[in-house]
């Protein structure tokens, strides 16, 4: 993680930051967009088994997928572009390093 990305994150349009604050969701999507735009690299999907420690978290709602899809569409509209880059890059071995995997 490069600290320049954090600085760039806070320079996102205020509408994006307000959406994140009011919904308490999608900050990871916004950061992925910042990194993709700056690095011109796609995000990496980590294929890992992660044990969810919570039962009532933000991702447990029935509309979680649609709200995150809306975030992507809204952020792209606010940024006037789609900075995420299509990729099929997958990391398979990282899961063995994380304490919360099986």
Catalytic pick among 18, 28, 52, 63: 28
**Is 28 among the catalytic positions?**
yes
Neighbours of 95 (CB within 10 A): 15
Q: Which of 28, 26, 25 is nearest to 36 (CA)?
A: 28
Instruction: Report, as residue numbers or ranges, the catalytic residues.
Output: 28
């Amino acid at each position: 993680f490069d600290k320049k990305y954090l600085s760039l994150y806070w320079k996102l349009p205020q509408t994006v930051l307000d959406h994140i604050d009011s919904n308490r969701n999608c900050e990871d999507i916004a950061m992925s967009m910042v990194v993709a735009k700056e690095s011109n690299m796609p995000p990496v999907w980590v294929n890992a088994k992660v044990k969810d420690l919570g039962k009532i978290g933000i991702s447990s709602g029935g509309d979680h997928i649609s709200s995150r899809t809306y975030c992507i569409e809204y952020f792209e509209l606010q940024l006037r572009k789609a900075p995420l880059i299509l990729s099929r890059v997958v990391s398979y071995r990282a899961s063995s390093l994380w304490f919360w995997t099986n």
